[in-house]
Amino acid sequence: MDTQDFSELNRHSATSFHEQKQLIKNLLAGRMVLCRHCGQQLQAQLPVAGENSVGYIRCTQGCTDIELEAAVPKR
Ligand SMILES: [Zn+2]
């Protein structure tokens, strides 16, 4: 039975997904968000609706580098 391993995995990915959502939410609200690793301000490039572009959240050092391909709901 690997149910415990599964719940560990799910909890971990849920946490990082939640963190990403929180980051995106803050950036969209115009708040300054700092990289949790280096403390530099994060830069956000949002995907453009209808175009095949990929958005990202990055810091200048590159230790935060999140792609936003499917993270932003289409509304
Ligand atoms: Zn950083």
Q: Look at the chain and report how many structural domains it folds into.
A: 1
**Residue 75 covered by a domain:** no
> How far apart are the CA of 56 and the centre of ligand 1, in A?
14
Task: Determine, yes or no, domain membership for 32.
Answer: yes
| Residues 5-51: tens digit of each pLDDT | 666 666 666 667 788 888 888 988 989 999 989 999 999 887 777 77
pLDDT of residue 22: 87
User: What is the CA(42)–ligand 1 centre distance, in A?
Assistant: 8
pLDDT score for 21: 84
Q: What is the pLDDT of residue 71?
A: 46
Please report whether residue 73 resides in a domain.
no
| Distance from Cα 22 to the centre of ligand 1, integer Å | 17
What is the distance in A from the centroid of ligand 1 to the CA of 60? Answer: 6
Asked whether residue 40 is assigned to any structural domain, the reply reads yes
Range of the domain at 7: 3-67
Give the pLDDT score at 34: 93
Helix/strand/coil (H/E/C) assignment for every residue in the chain: CCHHHHHHHHHHHHHHHHHHHHHHHHHHCCCCCECCCCCCECEEECCCCCCCCCCEEECCCCCCEEECCCCCCCC
Residue 31 lies in a domain: yes
Look at residue 37 and tell me if it is in a domain: yes
